[in-house]
Chains A and B, each alone.
Chain A
Amino acid sequence: MTSLIGSMISTLGATLKYRSLVGTANQASKVVALFSPEWTTVRFRFHADKVAKGPVPRRFGYEDKIFKGGLLPRTAYQDKRLPIPDYKPKNSWNEKRALFGQNDYIDILGPSNEITQKTLHPTQLLYNVPHWLRGVKGNEYQVLLRKRKFVQKEGYPITHPTKWAELNVRIKKLYKYLNTKTKSPFWKHA
């Protein structure tokens, strides 16, 4: 017991120094009890003393993630670039982009026929759109019906027999689906 107290006293050497004794102390006695109901021990440690003792544990309980995202480390001898496509900025001023929208207002700004007062309409200038689709808006069924009407006269059944068959099959399937499986207006489901 005494050795334990002694070891405790030696480790708490600093504490004993600042222990303020409330109440009368027996100066003569050499062994001072650690506990007595007569006095209250104010036991504290200064942070400087803690630091002086050694490394103070920081962020206790924190788990350090080694990889936090971003580029992976590269070894010094790796001289090959990783494969990445070369960036080629688009040419905003090539002919197509520079003159985009030209003639869209030809029915307003263009000349009108003196007698009929008719002008060209922008839908007549949609050369890159299939001719049966110029100025046409519709769902798949409507568009396919129009395509069939136009394309049949141009020999499509002879020149593209498989596609012609597929077209007809698709129209038939859509007809059945729209008329048997849908109740709401057909343009909502097609």
Chain B
Amino acid sequence: MLTATRPPLPIISSRKLAFPPKFKIPRQVWVSNMDTVEEEKLGLIDLHPEVFAERPRLDIIHENVRWQQLYRHVSYAHTKMSYEVRGGGRKPRPQKGSGRSRHGSIRSPIWVGGGVVHGPRSPKSYFYMLGFNARLNGLRSTLSAKLAQDDLQIVESLDIPTDDPKYLEALVEERGWGPSVLFVDDHDIMPLNITAASDAYGHYNLMPVYGLNVFSMLKHTTLVMTLSAVERLEERILFHLNRNDAAEATAKYKLSSV
């Protein structure tokens, strides 16, 4: 049993929201610790409603998931045309006289082993770009759904006392966090202990804020974010919501622009 020594609680009592909401109330969440297996609530913070309290749009979430699955997909299915199949240059038999049907090549599409006429031709890309706002709202909807369904947990930091995988498993089981957990931190180099501990399990995954996406949030049951990750995420999303120079970012995707 590990006991943490820390100053008197609550450590975090308030958080100033950027672009304070005018007509929506901020949502409040507990901040927990990762030092001990048992949960210790360290404080209560506000979350911006524009990010975490949007009415979840299932159609937008679906669009985002479909886009993520398709835009990187390339089909390598390929069939040869008649002229590409090996052989078949010679007329199999004279036009007349044999009593059999007439043919010009043994690789014509009506022959077995012949070419395929309108078959797949590789490579075929299914790339398309979803609109900027569709993706932004997909993130907002998914985050809101996660919070509303009690699948969003805020922790102070991802520092755990040991690199034993059993510690992490016990912690997750004790707190009732789902079978699969996605730990999100601001920085992409995570503390050593949690990296080693989660390495043993495929269903505990670590991700930086810039790697966050709708598909991963839906694949993992619980989303555990650090305070700094929440700050960064809110800052980014609110920046895009309130910027006035978004013409370039929200413009239709052009190959030459990247």
Contact = CB atoms under 8 A, between A and B. Distances in A.
Interface stretch (A13-21, A59-67, A125-133): A125-133
Contact of A106 (B71, B210, B216): B210
Q: Is the interface of A mostly helix, strand, loop or mixed?
A: loop
A107 B249 contact: yes
Contacts of A138: 125
A99 interface: yes
A122 B202 contact: no
B123 interface: yes
Interface in B64-82: 68, 71-72, 74
A53 B129 CA distance: 83
A135 B127 contact: yes
A108 interface: yes
Interface residues of A, number: 37
B202 A98 contact: yes
B74 A129 contact: yes
Contacts of A100: 68, 215-216, 219
Contacts of A110: 210
A28 B239 CA distance: 122
Interface stretch (A1-9, A74-82, A89-97): A89-97
A58 to B, nearest CB: 52
B212 A109 contact: yes
Q: Is the interface of B mostly helix, strand, loop or mixed?
A: mixed
Contact of A101 (B68, B121, B203): B68
Interface in B237-258: 237, 240, 245, 248-249, 253, 255, 258
Interface string B100-132: 000000000000000000000101111111001
A102 B132 contact: no
**Interface size grouping (class) on chain B:** 35 or more
A165 to B, nearest CB: 12
A183 B240 CA distance: 45
A168 interface: no
Contact of A103 (B74, B201, B210, B258): B210
Contacts of B83: 173
A137 interface: yes
Interface string A129-161: 110010111101001000000000000000000
B135 interface: yes
A99 B203 CA distance: 10
Contacts of B180: 93
A101 B128 contact: no
A91 B202 contact: yes
A94 B233 CA distance: 27
B78 to A, nearest CB: 10
B148 interface: no
A121 B258 contact: yes
A184 interface: no
27 contacts: A98-B205, A98-B219, A99-B211, A99-B216, A100-B68, A100-B216, A100-B219, A101-B214, A102-B207, A102-B211, A102-B216, A103-B210, A103-B211, A105-B213, A106-B210, A108-B132, A109-B209, A109-B237, A121-B258, A123-B129, A124-B258, A129-B72, A133-B125, A135-B258, A136-B127, A140-B121, A140-B124
Interface of B: 68, 71-72, 74, 83-84, 121, 123-129, 132, 135-136, 139, 180, 201-203, 205, 207, 209-216, 219, 233, 236-237, 240, 245, 248-249, 253, 255, 258
Top 3 nearest A-B pairs by Cβ distance?
A: A93-B202, A101-B215, A110-B210
